[in-house]
Amino acid sequence: MSLTQIEYFVAVAEEGHVGRASRRMHVSQPPMSRQIRALEDELGVTLFDRTPRGMVLRDEGRRFLARARRVLEELHEARREARDPAAED
């Protein structure tokens, strides 16, 4: 599992659509879709229901979204602290 996959997953979950998420992340749709499928394969669960109108989170996806957001927040916090000498404990 990569951070890119987690970032793409969160973007799709928030946008509800691969096209909008790919524009938000500045990537084309096919690589984003492949990364989401690879993440689902690795986790062994289907995170989204695919519909003609977009992507709908399944229960498994909602559970994973909460943790994925925390992972990304922790990463952003770590980056901020690494750049800010006043952030030492």
Of 34, 37, 35, 32, give the one whose Cα is nearest residue 18.
32
Contact 29, 8 (CB under 8 A): no
pLDDT in tens, the chain (89 residues): 999 999 999 999 999 999 999 999 999 999 999 999 999 999 999 999 999 999 999 999 999 999 999 999 999 998 898 888 776 55
Structurally, the chain folds into a number of domains equal to 1
Range of the domain at 13: 3-87
Burial track 58-73 (b if 16+ CB lie within 10 A, e otherwise): eeebeebbeebeeeee
Strands (E), the chain: 48-51, 54-57
In this structure, what CATH number is given to the domain that contains residue 58? 1.10.10.10
What CA–CA distance (Å, rounded) separates 60 from 81? 32
